[in-house]
């Protein structure tokens, strides 16, 4: 098992590195730190992935050169030791591993926005392993990789109000769970042996639509946004394997927030209700609340998502930003049923130029520096 884990983790890292850089699709650390709230506050080129209406507020040129994030769930010291001592040929070494779930996700993205137009690239990889069924031990294994290409545009339909759309192509590998026996894992000599169990691949085209309005008051800037991601579901056409991967379910999001803009200090707070078109999802899993205090160098975040608290911090060093978050994902049908504690860290490089060719930072605030020549 440990060999399989190393192979999977190595594959994930190498894939993201090659891309230089989509689950509810490739959420970032800033959003997770604010309890999953993002559509009222996203700005710049990043909007092409989450709320294309916000592209209407882009002035000048905004470049997300690269952003790479890695997430994993919480494992105790004893869990890690059990994984290190695991011997697939000795049942006494894996009895303590039953029910222990290992989950990892890696995301890379890049985007460019010029005025109201943007293009973007996303690479999202997720995998998990869990040993179960003591009478006949098997690994419940999940693997998914989504590679997405985005094209977004927004128009101004009223003062402070924008209508935006993103068209995307997504190439998916996997997306389902497979049962791997002890023999499957112990006989694996490389990632190709594991990857052979996830040979289904597909390609899909999807559309995101969004409507957002912001009232630009002297200090307060309230925003209301309605975003419909993957309108009508994004279904895949099989390109390899025995069947097409599962579709991406549409997600209707209503979000609102307000930002208090003070000299050297911004305070933002807001909320979202997600999956409005899915009555089978328990209401507590749809609600997200969060806040952020933004200082010149540090950002402090806290939120409430799916019944659990989240905490995050960001460090902004000119064009470089580093974000970290501790949050909880509900794996059950309702909050409090099956909590999975997770951590994420991301590193990104953003370049922004306003209409006067002055630098802006990754939150869109002007830096009083002239453009380098």
- The neighbouring-strand residues paired with 299 are 294, 314
Domain that holds residue 358: 2-370
The predicted structure's pLDDT at residue 373:
29
The predicted structure's pLDDT at residue 185:
64
Q: Is the pLDDT of residue 266 over 80?
A: yes
From 15-19, 244-248, 280-284, 288-292, the region with the lowest mean pLDDT: 15-19
Domain count, the chain: 1
Of the pLDDT bands very low, low, confident and very high (cuts 50, 70, 90), residue 136 is: confident
Q: For position 188, which CATH number holds? A: 2.40.160
> Which residue intervals of the chain are DSSP H helices?
2-19, 29-33, 47-50, 77-84, 182-186, 191-195
Of the pLDDT bands very low, low, confident and very high (cuts 50, 70, 90), residue 138 is: confident
Q: What is the pLDDT of residues 342-353, one digit of tens each?
A: 999 999 999 988
For residues 74 and 342, the answer to whether their CB atoms sit within 8 Å is yes
Of the pLDDT bands very low, low, confident and very high (cuts 50, 70, 90), residue 336 is: confident
Of residues 13 and 361, more confidence is placed in: 361
**Quick one: average pLDDT of 202-226?**
95
Residues 6+ apart with CB under 8 A from 29: 69, 312, 314, 323, 324, 325, 344, 345, 346
Supply φ then ψ for residue 238, to 5 degrees. -65, 130
Of the pLDDT bands very low, low, confident and very high (cuts 50, 70, 90), residue 82 is: low
Dihedral through CA 157, CA 160, CA 161, CA 167, nearest 10?
90
- Integer Cα distance of 356 and 241 in angstroms: 52
Question: pTM for the full model?
Answer: 0.85
Q: Is the pLDDT of residue 371 over 60?
A: no
Q: Is the pLDDT of residue 309 over 50?
A: yes
Kind and range of the H or E run holding 300: strand 298-305
């Amino acid at each position: 098992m440990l060999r399989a884990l190393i192979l999977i983790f190595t594959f994930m890292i190498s894939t993201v590195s090659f891309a230089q850089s989509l689950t509810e699709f490739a959420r970032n650390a800033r959003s997770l730190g604010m309890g999953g709230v993002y559509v009222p506050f996203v700005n710049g080129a990043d909007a092409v992935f989450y709320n294309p209406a916000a592209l209407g507020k882009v002035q000048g040129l905004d470049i997300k050169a690269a952003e790479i994030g890695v997430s994993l769930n919480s494992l105790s010291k004893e869990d890690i030791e059990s994984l290190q001592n695991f011997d697939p040929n000795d049942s006494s070494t894996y009895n303590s591993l039953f029910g222990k779930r290992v989950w990892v996700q890696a995301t890379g993205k890049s985007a460019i926005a010029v005025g109201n137009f943007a293009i973007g690239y996303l690479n999202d990889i997720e995998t998990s392993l869990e040993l179960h069924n003591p009478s006949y031990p098997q690994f419940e294994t999940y693997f998914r990789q989504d590679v997405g290409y985005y094209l977004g545009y927004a128009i101004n339909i009223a003062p402070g109000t924008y209508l935006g759309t993103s068209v995307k192509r997504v190439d998916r590998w996997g997306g389902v769970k497979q049962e791997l026996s002890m023999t499957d894992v112990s006989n694996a000599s490389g990632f190709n042996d594991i990857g052979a169990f996830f040979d289904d691949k597909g390609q899909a085209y999807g559309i995101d639509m969004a409507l957002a309005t912001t009232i630009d008051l002297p200090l307060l800037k309230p925003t209301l946004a309605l975003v419909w991601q993957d309108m009508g579901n994004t279904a895949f056409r099989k390109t390899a394997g025995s069947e097409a991967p599962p579709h991406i379910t549409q997600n209707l999001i209503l979000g609102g927030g307000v930002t208090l803009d003070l000299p050297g200090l911004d305070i933002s707070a807001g909320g979202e209700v997600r999956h409005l078109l899915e009555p089978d999802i328990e209401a507590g899993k749809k609600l997200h609340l969060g806040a952020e205090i933004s200082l010149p160098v540090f950002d402090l975040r806290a939120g409430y998502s799916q019944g659990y608290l989240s905490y995050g911090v960001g460090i902004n060093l000119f064009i470089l930003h580093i974000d970290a978050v501790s949050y909880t994902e509900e794996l059950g049908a309702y909050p409090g049923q099956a909590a999975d504690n997770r951590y994420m860290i991301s590193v990104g490089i953003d370049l922004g130029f306003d209409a006067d060719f002055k630098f802006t930072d990754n939150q869109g605030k002007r830096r009083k520096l002239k453009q380098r020549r």
